[in-house]
Every structure is written in structure tokens, then in C-alpha cells.
Amino acid sequence: HAKTSGRNKHHLFCEQTQYEQVVRFNYELALNSCLEKEELQLLYQPIYGNKQKQVVAVEALLRWKKDHKYMVSPADFIPVAEQTGLIIPIGEWVIRQACHDLPIVQAKYGQQTKIAINISRIQLSEPDFIDRINQILEEEQVDPQYIDLEITESVAMIDTVSECSSLLQLREQGYTISIDDFGTGYSSLSTLTRLPVDNIKIDRSFVAQMNPPVLKALLAMAEALELHVVAEGIEQEDQWRQLLELGCNDFQGYWISYPMPLDNLPDLPHFLSSVSTDC
Ligand code: C2E
Ligand code: MG
Ligand code: MG
Ligand code: MG
């Protein structure tokens, strides 16, 4: 399935410059061996819960250290991995590594801390995705309640009944589901009410624009639908203050912490003493 859609997508690349095509071809070749060469790494970015006044989760963010030298951004290689089908073994590596790291994360931030894992739609649409993720968790002895699955908002996801039922099944087993980059896709209010999800992550473009009426509407909607709201891309104290006032629950961004290697997770919250959190 992934291979077929990959082939179709090649037509799109006619529009790319020759340079981009060469880069992509290079990636495609090199990505094939990234697992055996152990070139992948996970960084973890803390998500701070205002109610708990502590780190409630860390998001696993994948890095590819090509030839153990160049750091390739996931924005550049995830699309390639999706087109070639490599996202399946890479995605499984991510899940396994995150499960493996969970005890260290929990030792740092508390036993309730979750790991949020980005899941590609290609993974979610694999018929055996649920069996595979359950098996990995079982092997790593991790309870699904500590795993949050982040899925990017997109039209097709919402329209596909089978994906909707996958999400339902996953939730029944204890996983939580977050809609990532919320607001950048095309989901309407009515489709959102049908989505079996727990959290929405407001895209950082909304945080950067900081348009209070828009954010108020977004948060009111989330409240009505009983969805938990995470704000992404908090880069300044001011953004944090304003979103706190608007009623946002959880916060993630460079101002709180950059994505960090497992052995370098920051002691948080460094900023609490300087910020009033009563509003
Ligand atoms: P995302 O899931 O929305 O992750 C948040 C991205 O925003 C990360 O970029 C993170 O480093 C960045 N970020 C965090 N705080 C700030 C901030 O305050 N300001 C700004 N400007 N950026 C911030 P990153 O790590 O480059 O990842 C990009 C995207 O790649 C992710 O977006 C996610 O969609 C995808 N991705 C990352 N890891 C995985 C993975 O393991 N599997 C899959 N399928 N996708 C992944
Ligand atoms: Mg994410
Ligand atoms: Mg996001
Ligand atoms: Mg994003």
C-alpha cells in the first residue's frame, strides 16, 4: 500500500528542481540503511501541565544523523520515509525506543509521565498497526496508558471510517490520542465532534500570531467537546502568560525546554519562580 502511494507521488516531483530531486534520491538511498547503521536518535521535549505544575509528558522527536555526521530534520526525511514505506520499520523503532526510555523519563518527572509519539497516517492505516504496537508495548512491558499517540490533523483521516475505528480501538486499550498541529488542517467542527480523541495540540502558528479572539474560540470549542488543549511553540514568556489566561492546559516550546537527549532532560520547571500561575 505504501509503495503504491509512493509511486503515484513521484509525479509530484516533476515540479521540483533538479537539486531537490538529487537530494531526495540521496535521502532515499541513505535512509534504507539508517536502522542498521544506528543513525536514528530520539530527542524528548517536555510538555508542562499547568494544573499539575510539573512535566506531564515528553514528546519523542526523531532525529536522523546521516553518516553519523549531518543532522537531517524530520520535516525532510519523514515524507521520504512515508513515500518509500520505510516509515513502518522506522515508526516501530521509534515506538520501541520510546518504550525503552520511558522508565528513565518517569524517574526524572514522576511515574505518571507519558511519552507522546508521532504516528504517521501511513502507519495508522496499516491493518496490523494495533497488533504491532500492542506487541511492542508488551515486549517492553509498558502500559498503553503512558503512551499518547499524536496524529496530524488532515481531511482524509477524519473521513476514513477504518482509521476512526482504529483510534477508537486504541483508546479502548488505554492509549490517548492527540490531534497534532491543530488548526492547520481542514477539519470542521462537525467532523471534530466525531473524532475519538483526547487532546488537541494548537499549532505553533496560532501561538505566534496570538490572536486572542481566534484562540478564545478555539479554546471554547475544545472545552465544549471536553478536549484537553496543549499549546505548541511557546517561545516567549508573554505567549505563555496569555495562553494561560485564555485557559490553555499544557505548554510545550523552546521557552520551556528545547527537545533534549534522554540523558540530558532538564530539571523543570525553571521558570515557575518568575511567573505567577494563579490566573
Ligand atoms: P510536531 O509533532 O508538531 O513537533 C513539534 C515540532 O516543533 C518539533 O520539530 C519541535 O522541535 C518544534 N518545536 C518545539 N518547540 C518549538 C518552539 O518553541 N518554536 C519552534 N519554532 N519550534 C518548536 P521537529 O523535531 O523538527 O519535528 C518536526 C515534525 O516532524 C514533527 O512536528 C512531526 O510532525 C514530525 N516528526 C518528528 N518525529 C517524528 C516521528 O518519530 N515520527 C513521525 N511520523 N513524525 C515525526
Ligand atoms: Mg507532534
Ligand atoms: Mg505539532
Ligand atoms: Mg508540526
Instruction: Give the C-alpha separation, 169 to 158, whole Å.
Output: 15
Whether cis (ω within 30° of 0) applies to the bond prior to 79 is no
Least confident of 4-8, 38-42, 105-109, 244-248: 4-8
When pLDDT is averaged across residues 48-52 and rounded to a whole number, the result is: 93
Q: Write out pLDDT tens, residues 143-168.
A: 999 999 999 876 556 667 777 889 99
C-alpha cell of 224? 465544549
Each residue of 238-270: pLDDT tens digit? 999 999 999 999 999 999 999 999 999 999 766
Mean pLDDT of 31-53: 95
Which atom of ligand 1 is found nearest the CA of 259? 11
**Residue 22: predicted pLDDT:** 78
Comparison of pLDDT for 186 and 142, the residue scoring more: 142
Closest ligand 1 atom to Cα of 235: 18
Number of the ligand 1 atom closest to the C-alpha atom of 120: 44
- 214-222: long-range pairs with CB below 8 Å, 24+: 215/243, 215/246, 216/246, 218/182, 218/183, 219/246, 219/247, 219/248, 221/189, 221/192
- From atom 35 of ligand 1, which residue's Cα is the shortest distance away? 74
pLDDT of residue 1: 44
Question: What is the CB < 6 Å shell around ligand 1?
Answer: 45, 60-62, 73-75, 78, 94, 118, 120, 150, 180-181, 204, 232-235, 253-254, 259
Residue 272 pLDDT > 70, yes or no? no
pLDDT of residue 186: 67
CA of 255 to the centre of ligand 1 (A): 15
The model's confidence at residue 19, banded by pLDDT at 50, 70 and 90, is confident
How far is C-alpha 264 from the geometric centre of its chain's CA atoms?
A: 20
Distance 47 CA to ligand 4 centre (A): 15
Q: What is the pLDDT of residues 76-89, one digit of tens each?
A: 999 999 999 999 99
What distance in angstroms lies between residue 202's CA and the mean position of ligand 3's atoms? 7
Q: To test ligand 1's pocket by mutation, which of 45, 118, 209 has the most ligand atoms within 8 angstroms of CB?
A: 118
pLDDT digits 0-9 by tens, 163-177: 788 999 999 999 999
- Higher-scoring residue by pLDDT: 215, 162: 215
pLDDT over 70 percentage in the chain? 86
Tell me which ligand sits closest to the C-alpha of residue 203: 3
Q: For ligand 1, atom 37, which residue shows the shortest CA distance?
A: 61
* Ligand 1 atom with minimal separation from the 123 CA: 44
Residue 9 has pLDDT above 60, yes or no: no
42 has a pLDDT exceeding 80:
yes
Q: Give the pLDDT score at 165.
A: 87
- What is the C-alpha separation between 240 and 151, in angstroms, rounded? 24
Q: Which of 228, 161, 146 is nearest to 195 (CA)?
A: 161
Are the beta carbons of 99 and 142 closer than 8 angstroms? Answer: yes
Contacts of residue 233, defined as CB under 8 A and 6 or more positions apart, other chains included, come to 203, 204, 205, 207, 208, 252, 253, 254
